[in-house]
Amino acid sequence: MGCRVKKKLIAGNWKMNGSLAANDALVKALVAGMAASTCHVALCVPSVYLAQCQALMAGTAIDLGAQDLSQHEAGAFTGEISGAMLKEFGVRYCIVGHSERRQYHGETDALVAAKTQRALASGITPIVCVGETLAEREAGKTEEVVKRQLAAVIHANGHCISEIVVAYEPVWAIGTGKTATTEQAQQVHAVLRAQLKAATNQADRIHILYGGSMNAANAAQLLAQPDIDGGLVGGASLKAPDFLSIIASAP
């Protein structure tokens, strides 16, 4: 139990939201409001705003994150952004395999595994998302699905797996206001932890975040679960008071 005293990680996922003016106001409000916080805080912003957010967050306790990266190192891949480019802007975390990318951009388990490798090779911590759809949960396939998604990443990354962050995001809870119960979330987190333990003796170090309608009202209870090491927060990360109260509820 001794090594369980790791700080929580609360990561905001802005998705395709923001503007120069709105980002400026939001980051300044967060910086002003979180002076006493002790957990790790990151914001995963749209790539076009990385330079702006890098400047806004310089010297603050907030780490910069991106929402996706290419699996390729460089070259003729129009529209794509490389890990090395993200690194130049001080990016520390990058979301990989978010369900919206799996769903709308056809990202497969193999591609997610390759992107995870690319992030690690670029010195960026990948936040690897796994999660079942409502149909999969109702068919009793939750464990099978998340284990398959994580297995692909473990297989491709070997012992480097201890360097990743995992986010369990049940697809039916994302942006719906329907949060998984603490029991549902903890149960899946424990399954993921056991899977990571079979792959590395560093599994207790790995942050496993919960995501899916986490908000100011439910965060404390979720974050009190033994295998929930933080949150990946979408909608509520766009409102400074809500995000600050989630941060404040992270022990």
Is 144 one of the catalytic residues?
A: no
φ and ψ at 74, to 5 degrees?
-170, 170
- Which of 107, 136, 163, 169 does the annotation list as catalytic? 169
Is 189 one of the catalytic residues?
A: no
Binding site for ligand PGA (CB under 6 A): 13, 169, 174-175, 211-214, 232-236
Greatest distance between any 2 Cα atoms in the chain: 48
Q: Where are the beta strands (DSSP E) in the chain?
A: 9-13, 40-44, 62-66, 91-96, 125-130, 165-168, 208-211, 230-233
78 Cβ contact partners less than 8 Å away, ≥ 6 residues apart = none
Burial class (CB in 10 A: 0-12, 13-18, 19+), 202: middle
CB of 200 to ligand PGA, least distance (A): 25
68: nearest Cα among 101, 96, 100: 96
> 56 or 167, CB closer to ligand PGA?
167
Burial class (CB in 10 A: 0-12, 13-18, 19+), 177: exposed
> 41 or 199, CB closer to ligand PGA?
41
CB of 42 to ligand PGA, least distance (A): 12
> 102 or 200, CB closer to ligand PGA?
102
CB of 58 to ligand PGA, least distance (A): 25
CB of 188 to ligand PGA, least distance (A): 15
- Which of 98, 107, 189, 207 does the annotation list as catalytic? 98
> 199 or 212, CB closer to ligand PGA?
212
101: nearest Cα among 69, 53, 61, 79: 69
CB of 75 to ligand PGA, least distance (A): 30
94 Cβ contact partners less than 8 Å away, ≥ 6 residues apart = 44, 65, 66, 67, 68, 69, 83, 86, 119, 124, 125, 126, 127
CB of 127 to ligand PGA, least distance (A): 9
- Which amino acid is present at 158? G
Please tell me the distance from the alpha carbon of residue 215 to that of residue 178, in angstroms, as a whole number: 11
Closest residue (Cβ) to ligand PGA?
Answer: 234
> 34 or 236, CB closer to ligand PGA?
236
Torsion of the alpha carbons at 116, 44, 60 and 8, rounded to the nearest 10: -70
> 164 or 199, CB closer to ligand PGA?
164
Instruction: Give catalytic residue positions.
Output: 98, 169
